[in-house]
Amino acid sequence: MAQRIGLVAHDDKKDDMVAFARANRERLAGFELYGTGTTGARVTEGTGLEITLLKSGPLGGDAQLGAMIAEGRLDALIFFIDPLSAMPHDVDIKSLIRLAMVYDIPLACNRSTASAVLAAL
């Protein structure tokens, strides 16, 4: 069974996520990919990768990924965080990050760590 990766990016980091996915398209194609609504749609549009789309982050997508982590259905999370912007759904974001840490799954928050996570999987 293919390993499963969650993809999330804050608004100002969505272009970075698409660029990362383009640069790593062949490698990412070997995984089951899950993405929050807008991020997943943008990555699919920019790369042609097949991504299971969840709800938009503020509408529950972050919580859906968190539930997948808690249920053992996600093997890694790539979450491009914008540290310079306030997020109205900050509680959801913190919960998702906390679950990734509690369940000890690889968590990448920028391109450098995302490349390292892909290399390790």
Are 77 and 59 within 8 A, CB to CB?
A: no
75 is catalytic: no
Question: Which residues are CB-neighbours of 102 under 8 A, at least 6 positions away?
Answer: none
Return d(Cα 66, Cα 64) in angstroms, integer.
5
Give the active site residue among 11, 12, 16, 62. Answer: 62
For residue 1 the two structure tokens come to 């069974």
Question: Which residues are CB-neighbours of 15 under 8 A, at least 6 positions away?
Answer: none
Place of tokens 């993405």: 35
Return d(Cα 77, Cα 23) in angstroms, integer.
18
Catalytic positions are 62
